[in-house]
Amino acid sequence: MSAIYTPPSIRRFTPNFMCFSTWVDHMPFGYDIVAAVKPKLVVELGTQGGLSFFTFCQSIKENEIDGVCYAVDTWEGEEHTGKYDEEVFNSVNDHARKEYAGCSYLMRMLFEEARPHFSDESIELLHIDGLHTYDAVKEDFETWYPKVKPGGVILFHDIYARMMDFGAWKFWEELSQQYSTFEFKHGFGLGVLQKPLADGSKPQNEEQLLKILFAGNDQDHADLRAFYIHAAKYLELGRKVARQEKMKQKRLEQQKQQQKKQNQ
């Protein structure tokens, strides 16, 4: 990977929010793409427990970007996630209020109900992560595309998920024939698409990450993919060590209590 690209996630990213999510392997990239795009407006379609959403929010805050993040979800679940508990929304709401008041907004409604609230060509980073059937992903893309600013970036999760009736992979294959795209294969796949300028031309990107994504050579791309696989592994090992440390402390505490009882 180009020697001049030093991802912000390497320098200062320690996730301050965790929950179970298959998005976990994309956290370092999610942090870095926000730092690269410096979006005034981020919209996420499909938030559930908030892992991807709070990665974007954390990057907005720590990289001092003058932007806001909107999360759109019914917080009820659908065919693929299954119906889930009210606890999921409450946890996202609590964390958003505590950590990101003023730069994060939750829109508890259907995607189509949220859409009229956004002006055309206003969204600089859109994350499409709702229902993953072919038809649903196609509809989310086609109906929200006009809301994305020319030069803006759209992320798609699960473009390598082939279970059940998941069809993001199929729609992604079609998109990558027509647009400037990049794909990560790990973590069920993450697609990155840059909207062309109004005259149909490719944006001239200044930011190093965007240059690598949309104008890099095969070696740059292979290096970038390898980097983000390792970055995710590094965070995973960090969590494992923290869990082991916590268990060790707990055991020591229990031993101390036992010793105290025996001495009485």
Ligand X SMILES: C[S@@+](CC[C@H](N)C(=O)[O-])C[C@H]1O[C@@H](n2cnc3c(N)ncnc32)[C@H](O)[C@@H]1O
Q: Which residues bind ligand X (CB under 6 A)?
A: 21, 23, 46-49, 51-52, 73-74, 76-78, 81, 110-111, 129-131
Nearer to ligand X, 1 or 43 (CB): 43
DSSP letters, 136-153, are HHHHHHHHHGGGEEEEEE
Torsions phi, psi of 178, nearest 5? -105, -25
To ligand X, the closest distance from the beta carbon of 117 in angstroms equals 13
Do 224 and 4 form a contact (C-beta atoms < 8 A)? no
Nearer to ligand X, 52 or 194 (CB): 52
How far apart (Å, rounded) are the C-alpha atoms in residues 72 and 202?
Answer: 29
Nearer to ligand X, 21 or 104 (CB): 21
Nearer to ligand X, 9 or 21 (CB): 21
To ligand X, the closest distance from the beta carbon of 131 in angstroms equals 4
How far apart (Å, rounded) are the C-alpha atoms in residues 80 and 202?
Answer: 35
To ligand X, the closest distance from the beta carbon of 25 in angstroms equals 11
Do 47 and 100 form a contact (C-beta atoms < 8 A)? no
To ligand X, the closest distance from the beta carbon of 81 in angstroms equals 5
Nearer to ligand X, 52 or 205 (CB): 52
To ligand X, the closest distance from the beta carbon of 125 in angstroms equals 13
Nearer to ligand X, 1 or 168 (CB): 168
Helix (H, G, I), strand (E, B) or coil at 69: strand
How far apart (Å, rounded) are the C-alpha atoms in residues 29 and 13?
Answer: 11
How far apart (Å, rounded) are the C-alpha atoms in residues 246 and 186?
Answer: 29
Token pair listed for 206: 């200044």
To ligand X, the closest distance from the beta carbon of 21 in angstroms equals 3
To ligand X, the closest distance from the beta carbon of 250 in angstroms equals 28
How far apart (Å, rounded) are the C-alpha atoms in residues 171 and 193?
Answer: 13
How far apart (Å, rounded) are the C-alpha atoms in residues 101 and 94?
Answer: 10
Do 4 and 208 form a contact (C-beta atoms < 8 A)? yes
